[in-house]
Structure 1
Amino acid sequence: MIREDKFLISRKSFAIDLDTVTGSQAGGIDHVTFSGQANAVWYRRQNGVTRACIGTLKLWSHYLPQRLNLDDPRDILAADLDGRYGGDCDGRWDGERYWGAQKPEVIEQHLELLRPMLANYPAIPAGYDGWWRF
């Protein structure tokens, strides 16, 4: 992944909760495979409407030249990971409508983060590190 200081919605960047970056790796003679995930938030635009999203990123690579330091989330994120599928969205807020969870307590948790996130677009919410892109 590539970390950028400037946010551009066209780059499909993510702000990541570094405390949630996890994964495992297996090594062969000439390469290492990695599979992991992280909690993230991001912005997307559809039909001219900006949306704040919360969910999970799948982090993986079938070929890395060397082992990653699994205790260092930035080392994991800086690897050449594949993210062609983007984030798995658990909740989304467009300023008018919420889409996502069905449990009221989860909806409240999501909106507690997504409402100010959208209101302060394109700010990174507290507790997240960004902007990361594949």
Structure 2
Amino acid sequence: MRRTDRFLISRKPFAVDLDSLRGERTDTPQGRNPYYFAGRINAVWFRRHGTTVACIGDLWDLQHPQPANAHQFLEQHGDGRYGGDCHGRWDGDSYWGNVTLEEQKRHLAILQPMLANYPAIPEGYDGWWTFHTEGAR
């Protein structure tokens, strides 16, 4: 991934909470690497599904070597085909998500102002991070 200041929804950008990187290291007896780091970082993003929606969830990746910090985790994250794991989505009228009521309230506290202030990055998040490379179409 790379960070860009320019928001283009077509490049499927993510804003991330740099303080939320978590994961665990797992030994791998086979393969070329002795271990992998299974990491996750909290993220929010906009997508268009007929209408613009605000999403909340996380980005995940298996990495070797283990990243030193969130920036390195994102920079080493090179496979964007799965996108983010969406835990909640707000379309301006309704919420989608299979989480507890408390979690829905927490999500909506972020997603409602996020969509209302489109395409601003919500407070506490860093963006925009994208898998899109310059010059690629």
Same fold (TM over 0.5): yes
Secondary structure of 2:80 counterpart? coil
Q: How far, CA to CA, are the matches of 2:35 and 2:5 in structure 1?
A: 29
| 2:88 alignment partner, SS class | strand
The equivalent position to 1:115 in structure 2, one of 104, 112, 116, is 112
Q: Which amino acid aligns with 2:8?
A: L
8 Å contact from structure 2 (residues 87, 99) kept in 1 = no
Is contact 2:43–2:58 with CA below 8 Å preserved after alignment?
yes
**Matched position secondary structure for 1:78:** helix
Q: Does 1:77 align with 2:74?
A: yes
Counterpart AA for 1:55? G
Q: Secondary structure of 1:114's match?
A: helix
Q: 1:32 to 1:4 in 2, by over 3 A?
A: farther
Residues 1:22 and 2:22 are matched in the alignment: yes
* 4+ runs deviating over 2 angstroms: 22-35, 67-70
Residue 100 (structure 1) aligned to one of 86, 91, 97: 97
Distance 1:21 1:113, change over 3 A: same
Cα 1:2/1:51, change in 2 over 3 Å: same
Gapped regions of structure 2 (runs ≥ 5): 132-137
Contact 2:21 2:70 in 1 (8 A): yes
Root mean square deviation, CA, Å: 2.3
Q: Give ranges in structure 1 of 5+ residues lacking alignment.
A: none
1:88 alignment counterpart: 85
- The corresponding residue for 2:135 is none
Query: Which residue of 2 is the match for residue 12 of structure 1?
Result: 12
The two structures have a TM-score, normalised by structure 1, of: 0.82
Q: How many residues align?
A: 128
Query: In the superposition, relative to structure 1, how do residues 29 and 86 fare at CA in structure 2: closer, same or farther (>3 Å)?
Result: closer
Question: Cα offset for 1:83?
Answer: 2.4
**Structure 1: which amino acid aligns with 2:40?**
Q
Identity of paired residues, percent? 53
**C-alpha deviation, 1:103, in angstroms:** 2.1
Q: 1:131 to 1:59 in 2, by over 3 A?
A: same
Q: Deviations over 1:111-133 (max 9, x none)?
A: 11000000000111111111111
Greater share of strand? 1
Contact 1:42–1:53 at 8 Å: present in 2 too?
A: yes
- For residues 6 and 33 of structure 1, the distance between their equivalents in structure 2, rounded to whole angstroms, comes to 32
Q: Determine the C-alpha separation between the residues in 1 that align with 2:35 and 2:117.
A: 40
